[in-house]
Amino acid sequence: MARRTRAALTAALICTLLAGCGDDGGDTGAAGTPAPAATGEPWYDEITAAEAAGEAGGAGTPCPLPVTFPVPKSWKPKPVEAPDDETATEVFEALARRGGTTATCEVDGRRAGGGFLRVWIVDAPAAEPRAALEAFVAGTEDTVSDQQFREVKAGGVDAVEATWVETSKLLEEDDRSWALALRAGDRTLVLAIGEGLLAERTDVLPAYRLAVSGLRPNA
């Protein structure tokens, strides 16, 4: 089975259940952009942010968060909620919890040809971003390799970013992932990116860059 076909099956399962449809590298930069920029694998800093057309996380939005961040056109925020079916709920619990975090909000860009952004709240309120991110990366039954971490700015907030390769035991394929951890108020958050059906990193990284560069804590 082709890699993208297998990835599509995985994305479809996650969509149905969740959304209803270590080496350090780099120095601290500003406005969400690390310095110096790292071109190509694994960070792809040459991929620029999408244009903002809305926000996620603010009061009165579908999923209020300790932070607000911009989203591209046709990317829709929605809460991550458990289904009513008992069997589906068990699968949901497995997918919505990872490495000491719980998924709470998803920004769905699949209809726009992209993937999705998911915000995870770290269960331990006092967890430091680096430790929380390391646990998140490792918190899977799949094989994780080539973990790299770096300090960045998310908006004006100090944050830690990670990239890694995750090898699916079920599908026997490799996918590179990215995520960011930061403190907001009295909680630690993880913002992770995911590929949608047939989406490539060039389809999802612009939305992730936009969210990181424009992120701000809520008062």
Q: How confident is the model at residue 93, as a pLDDT?
A: 78
Strand segments, DSSP code E, in 109-172 are 116-122, 143-154, 157-167
Q: What is the chain's length?
A: 219
| Tens-digit pLDDT profile for residues 54-89 | 999 988 889 999 999 999 999 999 999 877 777 777
- Cis peptide bond prior to 125, omega within 30° of 0: no
Containing 213, the helix (H) or strand (E) segment is helix 201-214
Portion of the chain with pLDDT greater than 70, in percent? 82
20-24, 111-115, 136-140, 207-211: least confidently modelled range: 20-24
pLDDT reported for residue 37: 76
pTM for the whole structure: 0.81
Amino acid 4: pLDDT: 41
Residue closest to 116 by CA, chosen among 57, 75, 155: 75
> What is the distance in angstroms between the CA of the first residue and the CA of the last residue of the chain?
49
From 3-17, 90-104, 177-191, the region with the lowest mean pLDDT: 3-17
Collapsed DSSP state (helix, strand, coil) of residue 56: strand
pLDDT 10s digits, 2-35? 444 334 334 443 444 444 443 444 433 344 455 4
Dihedral sign of CA atoms 179, 77, 120, 128 in order: positive
Dist. CA 64–CA 115, nearest whole Å? 21
Domain of 182, in residue numbers: 3-217
> What's the CATH code of the domain at 13?
3.40.1000.10
- 17 neighbors 87 (Cβ within 8 angstroms): no
Domains of the chain: total: 1
Q: Quote the pLDDT of residue 34.
A: 53
Which amino acid, 199? A
